[in-house]
Amino acid sequence: MTAAKPPGQEEDDHIFVDRVTKSFGSTHVLKGISLHLKRKKTAVIIGGSGAGKTTLLRMLIALEKPSTGHIWVDNEDIAPMGELELNRVRQKFGMVFQYAALLDSLNIFDNVAFPLREHRKSWPARRIREKVMDILKLLGLEGKENRMPSELSGGQRKRVGLARALMLEPQILIYDEPTSGLDPITSRMVDDLIEETRDRFNVTSVVISHDMTSTFRIAHTAYLLVQGLVIASGKPDELAYGSVEAARAFIAASGVDPKQISRVDGAHDESATIKYKAM
Boundaries of every domain in the chain: 104-169
What is the reported pTM?
Answer: 0.86
Q: 13 — phi, psi (to 5°)?
A: -65, 125
Mean per-residue pLDDT, 150-177: 90
CA distances 69 to 78, 82, 138, 196, Å, are 10, 16, 39, 33
DSSP one-letter code for 171:
S
Task: Read off the pLDDT of residues 55-110 as tens digits, 9 standing for 90 and up.
Answer: 999 999 999 999 999 999 999 999 999 999 999 999 999 998 876 688 889 999 99
- Selection from 127-136, 157-166, 249-258 with the highest mean pLDDT: 127-136
pLDDT band at 276 (very low <50, low <70, confident <90, very high): very low
What angle, rounded to 10 degrees, do the helices at 154-166 and 184-201 form? Answer: 20
Percent of the chain at pLDDT above 70? 92
pLDDT reported for residue 3: 62
pLDDT reported for residue 234: 94
DSSP one-letter code for 235:
S
Alpha-carbon torsion (227, 232, 234, 240), positive or negative: negative
Let me know: does 162 contact 178? Beta carbons within 8 Å.
no
pLDDT reported for residue 153: 87
